[in-house]
Amino acid sequence: MTAPLRVGDVRIDGTESATTLREKLARIVLDEMYQFVGLLDADGMTLEINHAALFGAGVGLDAIRGKPFWEARWFAVSKETTEQQRDFVRRARQGEFIRCDMEVYGRAAGEETIVVDFSLLPVRDEAGKVVFLLAEGRNITEKKRAEAEVALKNAELGAMVEKVRQFDQQRSDLFANVSHEFRTPLTLILGSVDEMRNAPEPLTATQRMHLATMRRNAMALLKHVNDLLDLAKLDADKMAMDYARVDVAALIRGTADVFCALAQRRNVSFAVLAPDRLPAEVDAEKIERIVVNLLSNAFKFAPQGGRVSCTLQASPNAKLLLRVQDSGPGVAPELRAAIFERFRQGQQGTRRDFGGTGLGLAIAKEFVELHGGIISVTDAPGGGALFLVEIPTVAPSGAVVQDDGAFAPPCSMDRALEAANAESALPDIETDADDDTDARPSILQVEDNIEMRRFIRDALGPEYRIVSAPNGEAALQAAIASPPDLVLTDLMLPMLGGDQLVAELRRHPPLADVPVLVLSAKDDDALRARLLEESVQDYVTKPFSAHELRARVRNLVSMKIARDVLRRELNSQTEDLAQLTRRLIANRTALQESEFRWWTIYQHSPVGIALIDADGMFTTANPAFHTMVAYAGDEIRRVSLQRIAPVEDRASLDACIASLVSGPLQQQHAKRRLQKKTGELIWVNLSVAKVPETAGSGPMMVVVAEDITARRTAEHALRRANDELARVSRVSTLGELAASIAHEVNQPLAAIATNGHACERWLDASPPNEPEARAAVQRIVRDANRAGQVIARIRSFLTRREPKRNEIQLHELVTDVISLVQTEAQTHRVTIRFDPAPEMPAVVADRIQIQQVVLNLAMNALESIARTAGEARVLEVRLEAEPPACLTLRMSDTGAGIDPALADRIFDAFETTKPEGMGMGLAISRSIIEAHGGKLWFEPNQGPGVTFAFTLTMAGME
Amino acid sequence: MTLPTRASGSVVYVVDDDLSVREALSSLIRSVGLAVETYVSAGEFLRQRRQPDERVSCLVLDVRMPGISGLDLQDELARSGNPVPIVFITGHGDIPMTVRAMKAGAVEFLPKPFRDQDLLDAIAVSLASDRQMRAERDATETLQARYNLLTAREREVLELTIAGLRNKQMADRLGIAEVTVKVHRHNIMEKMRAPSVPALVAMINRLAPAKVARR
């Protein structure tokens, strides 16, 4: 320190001794200190005061030195302050350290008070006697003011917190009340809807669909309301725990079971792994809710064809571990805590892949925690989310545990499930009948909410062809594939948000001009303005009315169409001339075209067309006609129509032509034969029609001939095939009767043999008994005839011959048939009742065919009775005349009857109730009777069995 | 018409629903001198033959007939305790049917057409069997009538005699004098017309056991 310096009252010139220097430095410290410092003697008389203190009080040291400290200016704030200070001095002199905050004059030369942190420290000499008092004061005015402010703020804060708490309480109460208020009407709605759905009155498909929609939505709403109510209860700490001892494994299996249908519908592979039994003391309803919510969540996120698994196991230390895993997108690490918060879902912004309120996981978490458990989410191995739940298997001590044993799922489950199903069922692209000729304007609707989708479809109704896409991506593809007249899109969309979709659309030139109408619940003015400015034509905020939507859509679509038309007009102006020219030419050639068309038909028709004159001579014929009759080119003009008919038909053709030429008839049709030039006969549908006469030409006729030879051949072949089939069926029926027939033939044969032996014996007797021998021989002749008849009858039945109709007596026919089946009837202990009524009129029919029908019906009846164990075993045949023209045969049996389910089919071919039946009998029988102009039917009897009946026309009435 | 004497008093019933067969059988059977009665059904046969025939008889029966079948008639007759030997004839016999008929005691089972001699032989066997049956039945009835003449005490003595007890043993057992036993035994031999004790035992054995009073 070379240069002399001065600080306050202290001057240091460098000549001082070390001690003096130290004193001077101490003086500087004292004076320059920010704190107030003073030294008093033991009696409290002021010795030293530093600058800061003097300055604050606006006094000089001399004025107060040697005077009582408490009388100094600082403490003149009040009499109390002075006295307090005096007391401090007294206490300090006795050795007490005094410290307190106090208000003193300390600023603006002792005119303003400040608050100081004041202390008075007794200073002792070596002997421990108090010799000085050290007074210190730190200005804490600012700090004090801040503290006061903080205290004030704290108080305010406290008031606010209280208020918030009240609000929260009110909110919870509101939730609870509102939810309650919602639940009642919702339940009533659901009740009415269910009643309507189950009402006996038939509903139309549309009504059913609407009811289903109402129910689904009411269910979804009810689920949300229930969630809210649960949360309200949780918040109010009113959620009671009903501990019971239940088998959690069974509970989880039962709960998971209900998701199987959903899994199947969504093609999600669903695995449940649980031990056989896992008893635990839990609140079953809440556990079930946890599982339902976790599974609902898993199914919501698992993609089509994905996986969901639910695993339950006991973990050591008396806990159960539940793992629910899906193969969905998983939960990003930063969202893992958030997804358990209320109203939070895994995604933000306008991308929204999945519906729902976001309460499910929050409730699951609350319920897990009520059990004292832990829930967390992590990455599933192989991708997707894995939810882990750990819950103690023992109720906390003191909790009441009911011993339920069995757990009956509460009814809340199907509600939650149905709601979950409704949320996750979203079909892909949905298109109206895809028809290229559909001229309606097309609208591409992008909407992930199925109900909203339906609402819009209904609102826009039949005026538009609507293609619906569930997300932006699909919509973009659909729009590119087939540009619509309007795009109607939601903003909140899965995969590709509405705004992104619009941007993408605008990037494709063919879609650049397609108007876009945005529908959204997002009432975001900024976005709306930006979208309207940039790319979107109109914007509707939900909720909106169908009417409003229709009006806006109509505007946009008609504008778009008008613009398209204008554009086309512009493009086509240059083409107009060419178009006009073409049209002109087209008009001029129209007539020729018509003629040409006719000519083409004439030339190429497979039907023969020819013109003949009044004599029947051909003037012209088309190629088909030429081919048909094998007359080439000009040859046809040298012959007449009559000439190409077979000789025996010519006269009638002559008459036909003559009647057309002179008579009133304009045309005649007939099935006729024509003779080819080669001599072959063909059958034709021949139509001859008069052509109006024109000047200069005589009467002309146009001949149209259609070759039906092939058709007739085919018809013949078919009929032959039918006859053959009927014959085969007869053979088969007789096959079934083989035993009976053998018996029928065997009886007379046995009698013949026996008679022969008897005859021998009568003749061998001595004397020979001639009358007996003769009688035996006569019987032999008779029985041989009888055998012959039986064989003839069977042969005629099997013969292959053209059907031939004669007058026949039905009762004879029936008697014949009964003789054939009599043995069969005996085998099954069936009595056949038939009263031949010979006075019945004859019918015209083919004997063998009708025999076949009666035999078939009789065999059916016998078999039917054979299949029953009934005591009344009767087959009854009745013939009745039904004036004026019919005869009815009824055959009633007491058999097994006909299964009503088969009643419609028994007349079909190959339908059979018999073990060995071919199934042809009734089909053939019906076709035979119908070919005879009658009908064949059956009716159930009053008692057991059925009655088959058929009608035939009486002779002379056909 | 001469009636052969050797078979007088016998009759052959023929039951067949077929007229031709009935007539032929009737002629054949009559040609060997047997009387024939024909019936069109089992039902008619039962109605006509409510009383047992005094004559030696047999039945020629068609197996398969409307209403009551041949086999059912066989059962019916067996149940009525009035058995008649039966010869079955059939158009189409099968093995189960044959077995059933033979088990139920049919004499023969002839498929149609049959050799005349086979039928006539079967009829002869049947008639012989019926004749023997009747003879046995008559003998038994005679013995029964004699047995019915015995007093209660005599029946007791008879029982013990058959059991092989000596007179003294019987007297002890019955608490009577031996001489009284002897009188009883004498009376028994008289009433039963038994030439010896072994003959008596054979007679009693022949009687149905039910007809002998049991102890």
Taking a C-beta distance cutoff of 8 angstroms, is the pair A768, A851 a contact?
no
Contacts B118 to A, Cβ<8 Å? none
- Nearest CB to B24; choose among A765, A779, A822: A779
Q: Do A746 and B24 touch (CB under 8 A)?
A: no
Q: Do A761 and B113 touch (CB under 8 A)?
A: no
Q: Do B20 and A748 touch (CB under 8 A)?
A: yes
Taking a C-beta distance cutoff of 8 angstroms, is the pair A662, A651 a contact?
no
Residue A718 vs residue A437, higher pLDDT: A718
Residues 6+ positions from A308 with CB-CB distance below 8 Å:
A259, A263, A268, A269, A270, A271, A295, A298, A299, A302, A324, A325, A326, A327
Residue A263 vs residue B87, higher pLDDT: B87
Give which of A37, A39, A41, A38 is closest to A131, Cα–Cα. A41
Cα–Cα distance, A827 to B67 (Å, whole number)? 10
Using a CB–CB cutoff of 8 Å, tell me whether B92 touches chain A.
Answer: yes
What is the DSSP secondary structure assignment for residue A214, as one 8-state letter?
H
Q: Do A753 and B64 touch (CB under 8 A)?
A: no
Strand order of the β-sheet with A608-613 is A618-621, A608-613, A700-707, A681-691, A667-675
> In the structure, what pLDDT confidence band is assigned to residue B120 with cuts at 50, 70 and 90?
very high
- Nearest CB to B31; choose among A749, A758, A826: A758
Residues in chain B: 215
- Best residue of B18, B21, B22, B27 to probe chain A, by most A CBs closer than 10 Å: B27
Cα–Cα distance, A59 to B2 (Å, whole number)? 193
Instruction: Check pLDDT > 50 for residue A352.
Output: no
Closest B-chain CA to A759: B28
Residue located via tokens 């949300």: A224
The string of pLDDT tens digits covering residues A617-651 is: 888 888 888 888 888 878 888 888 888 888 888 88
Closest B-chain CA to A772: B27
Residues 6+ positions from A816 with CB-CB distance below 8 Å:
A793, A851
The string of pLDDT tens digits covering residues A645-695 is: 888 888 888 888 888 888 777 788 888 888 888 888 888 888 888 876 765
Which residues 43-72 on chain B approach chain A with CB closer than 8 angstroms?
A: 64-67, 69
**pLDDT for B121:** 92
A667-675 and A831-834 strand pairing: unpaired
Contacts B71 to A, Cβ<8 Å? none
B10-15 and B56-62 strand pairing: parallel
Residue A428's H or E segment, with its range, is: none
Closest B-chain CA to A762: B31
**pLDDT for A426:** 45
The string of pLDDT tens digits covering residues A498-533 is: 778 888 888 887 787 788 888 776 556 677 777 777
Tokens of A753: 């043999």
Q: Do B114 and A750 touch (CB under 8 A)?
A: yes
Contacts B91 to A, Cβ<8 Å? 742-743, 746-747, 750
Amino acid at A321: L
Tokens of A466: 């609507």
C-alpha distances in angstroms, B132 versus A305, B137, B145? 94, 8, 20
- Best residue of B20, B21, B29, B119 to probe chain A, by most A CBs closer than 10 Å: B20
Question: How far does the CA of residue A774 sit from the closest CA of chain B (Å)?
Answer: 11
> In the structure, what pLDDT confidence band is assigned to residue B15 with cuts at 50, 70 and 90?
very high
Contacts B24 to A, Cβ<8 Å? 750-752, 754-755, 758, 776, 779, 783
Contacts B112 to A, Cβ<8 Å? 746-747, 749-750
> Rounded to two decimals, what is the model's pTM?
0.39
- Nearest CB to B116; choose among A742, A757, A825: A757
Contacts B116 to A, Cβ<8 Å? 753-754, 757-758, 761
Average pLDDT over residues A403-408: 53
The string of pLDDT tens digits covering residues A270-316 is: 888 888 888 898 988 888 888 888 988 888 888 888 889 999 998 88
Instruction: Check pLDDT > 50 for residue A408.
Output: no
Contacts A786 to B, Cβ<8 Å? 20
Amino acid at A765: A
Q: Is A805 helix (H, G, I), strand (E, B) or coil?
A: coil
Amino acid at B143: L
**pLDDT for A958:** 58
Q: Is A671 helix (H, G, I), strand (E, B) or coil?
A: strand
Q: How many CB pairs under 8 A join A and B?
A: 91
> In the structure, what pLDDT confidence band is assigned to residue A579 with cuts at 50, 70 and 90?
low
Q: Considering only CB atoms, which residues of chain A are within 8 Å of chain B? A: 739, 742-743, 746-755, 757-759, 761-762, 765, 769, 772, 775-776, 779, 782-783, 786, 822-823, 825-827, 831
> In the structure, what pLDDT confidence band is assigned to residue A355 with cuts at 50, 70 and 90?
very low
- Nearest CB to A762; choose among B25, B31, B69: B31
**pLDDT for A87:** 92
> In the structure, what pLDDT confidence band is assigned to residue A398 with cuts at 50, 70 and 90?
confident
Closest B-chain CA to A825: B66
Q: Which long-range contacts (CB under 8 A, 24 or more apart) does A120-125 make?
A: A120/A88, A120/A89, A120/A92, A121/A92, A121/A97, A122/A92, A122/A93, A122/A94, A122/A95, A122/A96, A122/A97, A124/A95
Contacts B42 to A, Cβ<8 Å? none
Give which of A336, A375, A355 is closest to A297, Cα–Cα. A355
Using a CB–CB cutoff of 8 Å, tell me whether B110 touches chain A.
Answer: no
Average pLDDT over residues B147-156: 88
> In the structure, what pLDDT confidence band is assigned to residue B213 with cuts at 50, 70 and 90?
very low
Question: How far does the CA of residue A910 sit from the closest CA of chain B (Å)?
Answer: 32
- Best residue of A745, A747, A782, A789 to probe chain B, by most B CBs closer than 10 Å: A747
Q: Do B112 and A783 touch (CB under 8 A)?
A: no
Contacts A761 to B, Cβ<8 Å? 28, 31-32, 116
Question: How far does the CA of residue B20 sit from the closest CA of chain A (Å)?
Answer: 6
Amino acid at A286: K
Average pLDDT over residues A4-28: 83
Helix/strand/coil (H/E/C) assignment for every residue in A499-556: HHHHHHHHHCHHHCCCCEEEEECCCCHHHHHHHHHHCCCEEEECCCCHHHHHHHHHHH
Q: Maximum distance among all alpha carbons in chain B? A: 75
Cα–Cα distance, A673 to A682 (Å, whole number)? 5
Cα–Cα distance, A475 to A463 (Å, whole number)? 21
C-alpha distances in angstroms, A630 versus A175, A678, B112? 98, 7, 69
* Residues linked to residue A682 through DSSP beta bridges, in sequence order: A674
> In the structure, what pLDDT confidence band is assigned to residue A375 with cuts at 50, 70 and 90?
very high
Mean pLDDT of chain A: 80
Question: How far does the CA of residue B155 sit from the closest CA of chain A (Å)?
Answer: 52
Using a CB–CB cutoff of 8 Å, tell me whether B18 touches chain A.
Answer: yes
Residues in chain A: 958
Cα–Cα distance, A574 to A570 (Å, whole number)? 8
Query: How much of chain A, in percent, has pLDDT values that exceed 90?
Result: 8
Question: How far does the CA of residue B59 sit from the closest CA of chain A (Å)?
Answer: 17
Q: Do A747 and B18 touch (CB under 8 A)?
A: yes
Closest A-chain CA to B22: A751
B35-39 and B10-15 strand pairing: parallel
- Nearest CB to A783; choose among B20, B25, B116: B20
> In the structure, what pLDDT confidence band is assigned to residue A340 with cuts at 50, 70 and 90?
confident
**pLDDT for A358:** 65
Contacts A772 to B, Cβ<8 Å? 27, 30-31
- Nearest CB to B91; choose among A743, A779, A831: A743
Tokens of A102: 């106090």
Tokens of A268: 């999600």
Question: How far does the CA of residue A852 sit from the closest CA of chain B (Å)?
Answer: 24
Lowest mean pLDDT among A211-215, A796-800, B195-199, B209-213: B209-213
Contacts B64 to A, Cβ<8 Å? 743, 823, 826-827
Does B113 sit behind a cis peptide bond, omega within 30 degrees of 0 on the bond before it?
Answer: yes
Instruction: Check pLDDT > 50 for residue A924.
Output: yes
**pLDDT for A582:** 61
The string of pLDDT tens digits covering residues A834-889 is: 987 667 888 888 888 888 889 888 988 888 888 888 778 899 999 888 877 888 99
Residue located via tokens 């029966």: B61
Residue A8 gets the label, from left (phi > 0), alpha (psi -120 to 50) or beta, of: left
